[in-house]
């Protein structure tokens, strides 16, 4: 589910919303490198939001401060967004993604100082993780055990990285995740009447030797390690 095997043309055809969002990330990152005016007009700035510049609750979702910041969030979206776009459909995915990002920015507005500034897609991406978290335990018909293990591992890594980097907007990460979890049943629907899945069912104890991982599993873990390295390196950029 999280291994991308499509070529560029196939990916853009199957996941046009993800493709469009990443393209917006790239264009805006290039623009703000050469135009401080555009950055000043679009960055999240709590004081100006309180003064009526409401668009600043939306525009920061698509802005990034550095190349590693842009690459990290865009790669995360390419890996974990397609499954959600396929499940929700294009319109519902757009609404969910933007609404999740807005709620993360509203929490930032309410809980951070007036002079606080912020930008980045992390709040919206953590909303996607929140939706997956809901599926792991309450919609097991949508996510198998292997993919559930990957999601929970990603969440642990994401939380560790959130508190490791002093430049990260912790409020946006946590409330983006919370927003995605709360919004999930409204966007996914109730589904079949299945019992919630327990943590033990996701990570069962066994004394049997593990079977060798297949190629796809190896790719997933390589990507996870790469994401962690990029996140750590971004602290020094």
**Catalytic residue positions, numbered:** 122, 173
- Which residues of the chain form beta strands (DSSP E)? 44-45, 117-118
Rounded CA gap, 168 and 104, in Å? 13
Rounded CA gap, 147 and 30, in Å? 34
Residues 198, 200, 206: CA angle, nearest 5 degrees? 155
Structure tokens at 39: 């950055």
Is-contact 45 14, C-beta < 8 A? no
Rounded CA gap, 149 and 145, in Å? 6
Q: How many CB atoms lie within 10 A of CB 98?
A: 17
Residues sharing a CB contact under 8 Å with residue 82, sequence separation 6 or more, in sequence order: 4, 11, 14, 15, 18
Structure tokens at 159: 């939380």
Residue-level length of the chain: 237
């Amino acid at each position: 589910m999280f291994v991308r095997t499509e070529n560029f043309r196939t990916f853009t055809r199957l996941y046009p919303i993800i493709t469009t969002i990443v393209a917006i990330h790239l264009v805006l990152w290039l623009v703000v490198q050469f135009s401080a005016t555009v950055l000043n007009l679009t960055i999240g700035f709590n004081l100006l939001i309180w003064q009526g510049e409401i668009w600043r609750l939306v525009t920061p979702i698509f802005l990034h401060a550095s190349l590693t910041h842009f690459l990290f969030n865009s790669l995360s979206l390419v890996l974990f967004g397609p499954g959600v776009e396929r499940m929700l459909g294009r319109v519902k995915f757009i609404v969910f993604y933007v609404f999740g990002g807005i709620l993360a920015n509203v929490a930032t507005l309410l809980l951070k100082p007036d002079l606080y500034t912020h930008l980045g897609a992390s709040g919206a991406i953590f909303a996607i993780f929140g939706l997956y978290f809901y599926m792991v335990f309450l919609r097991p018909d949508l996510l198998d055990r292997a993919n559930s293990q990957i999601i929970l591992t990603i969440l642990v890594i994401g939380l560790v990285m959130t508190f490791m980097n002093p430049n990260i907007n912790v409020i946006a990460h946590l409330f983006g995740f919370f927003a995605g979890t709360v919004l999930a049943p409204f966007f996914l629907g109730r589904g079949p009447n299945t019992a919630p899945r327990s943590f033990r069912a996701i990570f069962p104890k066994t004394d049997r030797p593990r079977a060798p991982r297949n190629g796809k599993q190896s790719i997933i873990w390589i990507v996870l390690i790469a994401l962690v390295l990029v996140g750590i390196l971004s602290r020094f950029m």
